[in-house]
Chain A
């Protein structure tokens, strides 16, 4: 037990330190500059860009070339978007899409 802890603690601490470094860098380097017009501009337009990229990234590992050709993912995504456009209730949209996806990958394929 102690050997495990001694072996892994440095790994955990270094990973924690490096991760915090990447998350805190802009706050340290740009402290007090939040009112700069360019940062205001970026604060407005980075979130939509990153959300687009996170969606693309989520679909990046889907195999569209082989069966089932990404159909579970695409259908679940369309259900999520459709539900959200109809009721604009985030949790409902997410539950509908996720429930369909779970049934699809566990039962249908």
Chain B
């Protein structure tokens, strides 16, 4: 896989975000009294950061399976809109495609929509490598956190800003690629409205609103 060096470079910022965040999850998780390998298993099978943090709270409160399922669904519903813009990029098939879809987190989506795959090589191999590297950072983080517990020597407070910085950088890259104000303007307005009125479901509400406005724009403005 000669796409690996490029994928590794592109995914490094996610490592700085996923390892400390995964560790934070692992620490909270082992506080509940579960063995460390279950944190690893969660990172491997669920692989959804926000939902895993939510699950810690729900497990601590002895929530039922249905409540956990509904909460996970509500929290991850935004991912439906990610796939909408990946149909074309993720054109490969079989197990590789299944894994790309499984691993479509916020950060992997951000990288896959912004980074340009190397000219040599299959783009789907590049996306696959990014997805697998990102998940490996997350699983390593979850595992480390659960094993070391709260006895970690290194103070990684603030390292999770790497994900904010990654989104900022990719926003600039999107601007350079698109060069049209309206998607940014639409999203900024919807985002502010959602932050003010629907803070607990900010992403779902603002992404849905933005999608509606983008569809309207497509319908009523010459389909450019």
Contact = CB atoms under 8 A, between A and B. Distances in A.
Query: Is chain B's binding surface mostly helix, strand, loop or mixed?
Result: helix
Given A23-B79, A44-B178, A106-B155, A98 B16 contact: yes
B202 A60 contact: yes
A81 B168 contact: yes
B44 to A, nearest CB: 9
Given A34-B88, A104-B158, A47 B113 contact: yes
Contacts, number: 265
A58 B164 contact: yes
B215 A23 contact: no
A37 B215 CA distance: 11
Contacts of B87: 26-27, 30, 33-34, 39, 43
Interface stretch (B68-76, B122-130, B145-153): B68-76
Contacts of A38: 215, 218, 223
Interface string B51-95: 110010001000001001100110011111111111111110000
8 contacts: A8-B59, A13-B45, A42-B85, A47-B109, A53-B187, A77-B168, A90-B173, A98-B16
Interface of A: 1, 4-5, 8, 10-16, 18-27, 30, 33-35, 37-60, 72-73, 76-77, 80-81, 84-85, 90-91, 93-95, 97-98, 101-102, 104-106
